[in-house]
Structure 1
């Protein structure tokens, strides 16, 4: 991903005492920083913000970064499409939504009054709507609620708290809250529904979706 003016670098000590530069990209609306590469090699393809309308105001709930195994994404796109399309199109996004390529969505909370029950309700509703779109109108609230189902209301979410949702091989969706695994669900539909929330026809942040699309074209 090309370096932008919004990217800064942090120094990181290695065992030999040499400086290893770790670049981060800052989501401008929230100020949240995301490393451009995870320890396992997944690369950051976009950053964005989740807003929720409350009392007529657009409240920022969390900043997010979407990571992927870009080598596998590149192989998938080239095998299905061949050469780079002239512009981003729905087929590109749909390939990513439907694929089994490993991805991580990292959410960093910025809203100070967020509770675990609010997160559960929010994801349950969002995923429920996403599942209906993917299935031609069929409801599956039980599946939608599995993502955050095991998360205890005792978990305190303060600004800076991290939730990570990972799509693993075999269409397994794993959710971690502050590093602790709270759910692991094997479901192709749920995996597609979560990515559809961010890259589908009605994305949570259109600018982030567009950035992800540009990163897909750059893989060609």
Structure 2
């Protein structure tokens, strides 16, 4: 409805004057209709633009964006249902017949608060760039970390995955201890059936749980749960050690560590 002269007059400060003496008798101020402030039932007034905090003052959580592993086009959620945050994405390649075959894309997730407490306590002052010691601190700890693998190669079988991990873990264990432990390396995928079909987009999740427990899921089904500090260290070492599966992913993880300070 159009604003009338009467509306404008009603919103202005109204001062009643005694005609003979010129003394103001009373004054009433009414705010502009668009910014009018109404008192609450108890006489208090809420400030304009202030959120109503009757619900406890909770603020909606800012969503964490997804991230795409560019070489494969695989997208990873920025945050998992259990609260772990995505720290880096990468690609596992394997040389076959002189060609680099894309095997799987991966995302490394971590318990951000535990990771921050660990790194800031152990390192103290933030270095100018990620150091070998920083990565090793993460490798040796039992902070919750999950590596999500998304299959890219169309011809991948469960037997090929098992062999790949046996080799990777075996190499990591040798670098960490100077020796081999074939019995231990076979435990991570040992119970996964060869009948499991791995098509592009299939997922494998390897989680390091507090207490040095390594749990493996294939397509959402648990295939192994092993309590072993060495196995947990070796698994994370494959991605953050001296010869990682994807150097760029390791560097991204290192940058995320610096942001914790």
The TM-score normalised by the length of structure 1 is 0.90
Larger Rg: 2
Which secondary structure state, in structure 1, belongs to the residue aligned with residue 259 of structure 2?
helix
List per-residue Cα deviations over 1:105-129 (Å, max 9, x = no partner): 0000010000000000000011001
Task: From the superposition, tell whether residues 22 and 217 of structure 1 become closer, same or farther in structure 2 (CA, over 3 Å).
Answer: closer
Larger fraction in strand: 1
- Give the distance between the partners of 1:21 and 1:126, measured in 2 at CA: 35
How far residue 23 of structure 1 moved from its aligned partner, in angstroms, is 2.0
- Give the distance between the partners of 1:103 and 1:130, measured in 2 at CA: 17
Matched, 1:197 2:207: no
Matched, 1:107 2:149: yes
| Runs (5+) with no aligned partner, structure 1 | 1-19
Matched, 1:119 2:135: no
In the other structure, the counterpart of 1:10 is none
Task: From the superposition, tell whether residues 21 and 217 of structure 1 become closer, same or farther in structure 2 (CA, over 3 Å).
Answer: closer
Aligned with 2:189 (options 134, 144, 148): 148
Could you list the structure 1 runs, at least 4 aligned residues long, displaced by more than 3 angstroms after superposition. Answer: none
List per-residue Cα deviations over 1:146-166 (Å, max 9, x = no partner): 000000000000000000000
Q: Which of structures 1 and 2 has the larger relative contact order (alpha carbons within 8 angstroms, sep 6+)?
A: 1
- Aligned-pair Cα RMSD in Å: 1.2
In the other structure, the counterpart of 1:185 is 226
- Give the distance between the partners of 1:48 and 1:24, measured in 2 at CA: 14
- Give the distance between the partners of 1:69 and 1:184, measured in 2 at CA: 19
Which secondary structure state, in structure 1, belongs to the residue aligned with residue 171 of structure 2?
helix
Which secondary structure state, in structure 1, belongs to the residue aligned with residue 256 of structure 2?
helix
The TM-score normalised by the length of structure 2 is 0.76
Aligned with 2:128 (options 79, 86, 104): 86
> How many positions carry a matched residue from both structures?
201
Task: State how 1:1-150 maps to structure 2 within 5 Å.
Answer: 23-136=65-178, 138-150=179-191
How far residue 79 of structure 1 moved from its aligned partner, in angstroms, is 1.1
- Give the distance between the partners of 1:22 and 1:77, measured in 2 at CA: 22
- Give the distance between the partners of 2:65 and 2:258, measured in 1 at CA: 22
